[in-house]
Chains A and B, each alone.
Chain A
Amino acid sequence: MTLDLLVFAQAGGQEAVDKFANATSSGIALGAIYALLALGLVLIYKATQVLNFAHGALAALGAFFAAYLATVINFPGRYVTFLPTTVQWILSALVAVLITAVVGLVLERLAIRPMIGEPLFSVVMITIALDIVIRTITDDLIGTNPRPLGDPWGADVVNIGPAIVAKSELATVAVTIIALVGIALFFRSRYGVAMRATAFDQEAAMAQGISAGRIFALAWAIGAGLAAAAGIFSSLFPRSIGVSNTTAFFAFRALPAIVIGGLDSISGAVVGGFIVGLAESYAGAYFIGDTWSFLGLGFAGVMPYIVMLIVLIVRPYGLFGTEEIRRV
């Protein structure tokens, strides 16, 4: 599909190349946020078999923390004034991610742990209820108006070839790559191996002396942290004016990504995220004008779901997901 569009773009001359480049860069930036969200969702699913519907709420909460830390109390920037402002802001964002990770830890302990062994959808319903609770509190904390995050990149842009890319978009992609590498490394560490073992066979892992509870908590903490990172980057220029009461809905847009990649595949989550981002961006850029008016209003928004359906028809467990072995 990409190749076809490229050929099409070249046939249309410079203007078409620009359009294609911009749609691609914007799709990659969007996909990076989806990938971050999907990473967290998949990590939690892999370790605990729970699809976390409170992910968006956690993302908004994390973005709020970042906004509060960076613009209201300037923490930890006020103590490290000798550092450049960019570093100060990154520190604030990191602290926000850490706080959200702790929130994830607490949530797992209080609401998810007691549900071990209960029917799958009761646990999913709990996360939906958690979403209501966290979102209500976050909305109240955010207050009347959206809160800009005060990031150092502002509205700065750089030209990469024919594409005009915002610096914050570059940062998003960078963070996604760092997160992916970090998680890949984590899975090689002691705890990472334990998590993989738990995901593979909980009882066998416990027999080996792995505390499944601790693994669950860890997965939720990392997942919540990734959600916060995604929330922060989805609240930056040009995507948004700041964290607001609609930030939480962003996570629902990432759901097709985890299905396309496969619910239990880390690399699948990232690939799925970029596929969704590009699909949305290309659909928005090319299915426009009178020729495409039969597609109605806002077709780009359902494009990820259509891609998801096509993938599922071909591969019912996603591109990289493990096929469940069904026994009688």
Chain B
Amino acid sequence: MRKFRIFALLLVLALVAAACSSDSDETTTTAGAEETTTTAAAEETTTTAAAEETTTTAAAPAELKTDFGVDVEAGTITVGQTADLTGPFAPLVTPILAGQKLYWGWVNANGGIGGMEVLMETRDTAYQVEQHIAAYDEIRDKVVAISHTTGSPQTLAIADALEEDDMIAVPATWYSGWTDTNIAPTVLHLGAPYCLEAMSLLDWVSEEWAKEGNEAPTLAVASIPGDFGLDSMAGALKWAEINGVEVVYDGSATIIPNQDQKPVADAIVASGANMVYVTTTPGTFGEVFGAALQQGFVGAKWSGAGPTYNPAFIAEGSAIADAIQAMWYGGFYAQPWGGDSAGMALTMQLVEEFAPDMPANDYVGLGVSEAMLVHAALQAAYDSGDMTRAGVNAALRTLDNVDFMGLAPNENYTGSTSDQVQRAITLYRPSVANLEAGGSGSEIVANDFVGPTALGFDFQEACYQF
């Protein structure tokens, strides 16, 4: 019996090994830093994220102040990521980190930062607050900056520690409070917050509605609880108030994951709204949208915060593909896959060279833009001669126009909350044709779009307060 048990365990292991490695023989190349071949993109593109700063190593200061995560002797700079790699948001975070890895590989291949190589130190958080804190505790003394932290409550849970360490962190959430330095002074904003995103998107959708020769629209909104849903809802409701649009159904925080979503769909259908703004996870959105479609609810225009949408909606075999293509109006914080910017060209180049098997995904570019922001901060700190964590933070706070090579709208980290806030988003429509041509299925309509309501909105503090 005993022998059999050992045999059994070995078999399990062998089985798992076979299951996992079966499809690993496909060609993949590493974005390893050792690769010395300079890419075509590298030669063409002379602007880096820190376009305003000098990127030549010749200007290196003689004495570099460092504390954590920068090892001048070994020539390494370590940036950390506390990322959800096994939890509910793993499908979004994995390509984000892939984008970061590609970008840092490219930075390293082009001389790194002052000749120093940038390394990534990633920890899994499984989207759990406790594990997130443990992950941060584990890497806090090894890294100079956090280039990715998943989730708002999770990031907020480490916000005090981040402030204590004077460590800048790029959150992969677009909570409007990140722009407000009173809430978490070292957590950076990147991309338009949910709240202003809602305004810009609704500006666009109502414009489209009016273009079709329609009367004044009515709005129905629904979301999951938490800052993601409620910050977005705050923006949508504010938009309705400013523009005098009637809100026929307010389903803020009514979408609860792992439950039947039909009641929400019923309420939306019953309201008879012309515009529906839903902010939730792709899975629950699919349920709400599906249940509404089942009851013949067509003709309204649907939109919602960036992460609500997933290309699986229009993928081959999807039941709602046609309806989504007709009714979804999407916005995103960075340029979707296949955009026309230099930054996206670089991303595509890197993907082609180092990860040719990677499926088209809008979040890769987002990852690149996150890394670009940290790159800009590190470069500025290096140039100032102070690469301590406080030095990096201070250097970042001098940047008033961080350029992402068009991948994301330029960002400002100086001045008042109102000056700093990002109002521009990229608009797209779902396109099956784009998807079939190997794209991510997002056809760009406009880059750096700022709706009139978003432009005129006086942003002083977070739309939703924790």
Q: Does chain A touch chain B in the assembled complex, meaning CB atoms less than 8 Å apart?
A: yes
Selected contact of B263 from candidates A154, A239, A240, A300, CB within 8 Å: A300
CB distance from B357 to the nearest CB of A (A): 11
Residue contact B282 to A146, C-beta cutoff 8 Å: yes
B312 part of interface (Cβ distance < 8 Å): yes
Residue contact B267 to A288, C-beta cutoff 8 Å: yes
Rounded to whole angstroms, the CA-CA distance of A188 and B1 in the bound complex is 34
- Contact digits for A158-185, partner B, Cβ 8 Å, 1 yes 0 no: 0000001010100000000000000000
A106 part of interface (Cβ distance < 8 Å): yes
A298 part of interface (Cβ distance < 8 Å): yes
B16 part of interface (Cβ distance < 8 Å): yes
Residue contact B296 to A137, C-beta cutoff 8 Å: no
Chain B stretch 329-361: residues in CB contact (< 8 A) with chain A: 359, 361
A267 part of interface (Cβ distance < 8 Å): no
Q: Given the known inter-chain contacts A145-B311, A148-B315, A238-B293, please indicate yes or no for A285 contacting B90, CB distance below 8 A.
A: no
Residue numbers in B under 8 Å from A157 (CB-CB): 294, 296
Rounded to whole angstroms, the CA-CA distance of A311 and B143 in the bound complex is 55
Rounded to whole angstroms, the CA-CA distance of A22 and B293 in the bound complex is 14
- Residue in B closest to A107 when the chains form the complex, CB atoms: B12
Residue contact A298 to B318, C-beta cutoff 8 Å: no
CB distance from A304 to the nearest CB of B (A): 10
CB distance from A66 to the nearest CB of B (A): 11
Residue contact A245 to B91, C-beta cutoff 8 Å: yes
Residue numbers in B under 8 Å from A237 (CB-CB): 290, 293-294, 319-320
Residue contact B282 to A285, C-beta cutoff 8 Å: no
- Contact digits for B299-314, partner A, Cβ 8 Å, 1 yes 0 no: 0000000000011110
- Residue in B closest to A155 when the chains form the complex, CB atoms: B319
Residue numbers in A under 8 Å from B1 (CB-CB): 114
Rounded to whole angstroms, the CA-CA distance of A157 and B266 in the bound complex is 16
Residue contact A245 to B318, C-beta cutoff 8 Å: no
A6 part of interface (Cβ distance < 8 Å): no
Selected contact of A137 from candidates B19, B259, B317, CB within 8 Å: B19
- Contact digits for A252-293, partner B, Cβ 8 Å, 1 yes 0 no: 110000000000000000000000000011001100100000
CB distance from A29 to the nearest CB of B (A): 10
Residue contact B254 to A297, C-beta cutoff 8 Å: yes
A151 part of interface (Cβ distance < 8 Å): yes
- Contact digits for A18-57, partner B, Cβ 8 Å, 1 yes 0 no: 0100100010001000000000000000000000000000
Rounded to whole angstroms, the CA-CA distance of A154 and B322 in the bound complex is 10
Residue numbers in A under 8 Å from B294 (CB-CB): 155, 157, 164, 166, 237-238
Residue contact B259 to A155, C-beta cutoff 8 Å: no
Residue contact A110 to B16, C-beta cutoff 8 Å: no
| Total CB contacts across the A-B interface at under 8 A | 159
Residue contact A155 to B293, C-beta cutoff 8 Å: yes
B53 part of interface (Cβ distance < 8 Å): no
Residue contact B263 to A70, C-beta cutoff 8 Å: no
- Contact digits for B1-32, partner A, Cβ 8 Å, 1 yes 0 no: 10011001101100110011000000000000
Selected contact of A110 from candidates B11, B287, B322, B361, CB within 8 Å: B11
A242 part of interface (Cβ distance < 8 Å): yes
Selected contact of B12 from candidates A110, A148, A252, A284, CB within 8 Å: A110
Main secondary structure of the interface of B (DSSP, over half): helix
CB distance from B295 to the nearest CB of A (A): 5
A136 part of interface (Cβ distance < 8 Å): yes
Chain A stretch 221-245: residues in CB contact (< 8 A) with chain B: 236-242, 244-245
- Residue in A closest to B293 when the chains form the complex, CB atoms: A155
Rounded to whole angstroms, the CA-CA distance of A30 and B311 in the bound complex is 26
Residue numbers in B under 8 Å from A246 (CB-CB): 88, 257-258, 281, 283
Rounded to whole angstroms, the CA-CA distance of A166 and B291 in the bound complex is 9
B286 part of interface (Cβ distance < 8 Å): yes
Rounded to whole angstroms, the CA-CA distance of A178 and B293 in the bound complex is 28
Residue numbers in B under 8 Å from A204 (CB-CB): none
Rounded to whole angstroms, the CA-CA distance of A298 and B260 in the bound complex is 9
CB distance from A312 to the nearest CB of B (A): 22
A81 part of interface (Cβ distance < 8 Å): no
- Residue in A closest to B94 when the chains form the complex, CB atoms: A144
B95 part of interface (Cβ distance < 8 Å): yes
Residue contact B359 to A143, C-beta cutoff 8 Å: yes
Rounded to whole angstroms, the CA-CA distance of A280 and B263 in the bound complex is 10
Q: Given the known inter-chain contacts A71-B317, A149-B317, A240-B287, please indicate yes or no for A144 contacting B359, CB distance below 8 A.
A: yes
A140 part of interface (Cβ distance < 8 Å): yes
CB distance from B272 to the nearest CB of A (A): 13
A120 part of interface (Cβ distance < 8 Å): no
Residue contact A146 to B287, C-beta cutoff 8 Å: no
B316 part of interface (Cβ distance < 8 Å): yes
Residue contact A297 to B253, C-beta cutoff 8 Å: yes
Residue contact A241 to B290, C-beta cutoff 8 Å: yes
Residue contact A146 to B263, C-beta cutoff 8 Å: no
Query: For the side of the interface on B, what is the size category?
Result: 35 or more
Residue contact B263 to A288, C-beta cutoff 8 Å: yes
B418 part of interface (Cβ distance < 8 Å): no
Residue contact B312 to A238, C-beta cutoff 8 Å: no
Name which of A144, A166, A245, A252 has the most chain B CB atoms within 10 A of its CB: A144
CB distance from B12 to the nearest CB of A (A): 5
B120 part of interface (Cβ distance < 8 Å): no
Q: Given the known inter-chain contacts A145-B311, A236-B319, please indicate yes or no for A140 contacting B260, CB distance below 8 A.
A: no
Residue contact A139 to B90, C-beta cutoff 8 Å: yes
Rounded to whole angstroms, the CA-CA distance of A113 and B9 in the bound complex is 12
Residue contact B90 to A154, C-beta cutoff 8 Å: no
Chain A stretch 189-247: residues in CB contact (< 8 A) with chain B: 236-242, 244-246
Residue contact B317 to A150, C-beta cutoff 8 Å: yes
- Residue in B closest to A153 when the chains form the complex, CB atoms: B319
Chain B stretch 119-136: residues in CB contact (< 8 A) with chain A: none
Q: Given the known inter-chain contacts A145-B312, A147-B312, A148-B317, please indicate yes or no for A155 contacting B262, CB distance below 8 A.
A: no
A111 part of interface (Cβ distance < 8 Å): yes
- Contact digits for B228-267, partner A, Cβ 8 Å, 1 yes 0 no: 0000000000000000000000000110111110110011
Rounded to whole angstroms, the CA-CA distance of A150 and B283 in the bound complex is 16
Residue contact B256 to A298, C-beta cutoff 8 Å: yes
CB distance from B19 to the nearest CB of A (A): 6
Residue numbers in B under 8 Å from A252 (CB-CB): 258
Q: Given the known inter-chain contacts A144-B95, A148-B317, A249-B258, please indicate yes or no for A244 contacting B5, CB distance below 8 A.
A: no
Residue contact B256 to A145, C-beta cutoff 8 Å: no
B225 part of interface (Cβ distance < 8 Å): yes
A301 part of interface (Cβ distance < 8 Å): yes
- Contact digits for B83-113, partner A, Cβ 8 Å, 1 yes 0 no: 0001010110011000000000000000000
- Contact digits for A121-146, partner B, Cβ 8 Å, 1 yes 0 no: 00000000000010011011001111
Residue contact B286 to A241, C-beta cutoff 8 Å: yes
B323 part of interface (Cβ distance < 8 Å): yes
Residue contact A239 to B287, C-beta cutoff 8 Å: yes
Rounded to whole angstroms, the CA-CA distance of A144 and B257 in the bound complex is 19
Selected contact of A148 from candidates B283, B296, B312, CB within 8 Å: B312
The contact sample of 9 A-B pairs, CB cut-off 8 A, is A71-B316, A110-B11, A148-B317, A238-B262, A241-B282, A242-B315, A246-B281, A246-B283, A285-B266
Closest 3 CB pairs of A and B: A150-B317, A238-B290, A241-B286
**Which residues of A line the B interface, CB within 8 A?**
19, 22, 26, 30, 67, 70-71, 106, 109-111, 113-114, 133, 136-137, 139-140, 143-151, 153-155, 157, 164, 166, 168, 236-242, 244-246, 249-250, 252-253, 280-281, 284-285, 288, 297-298, 300-301
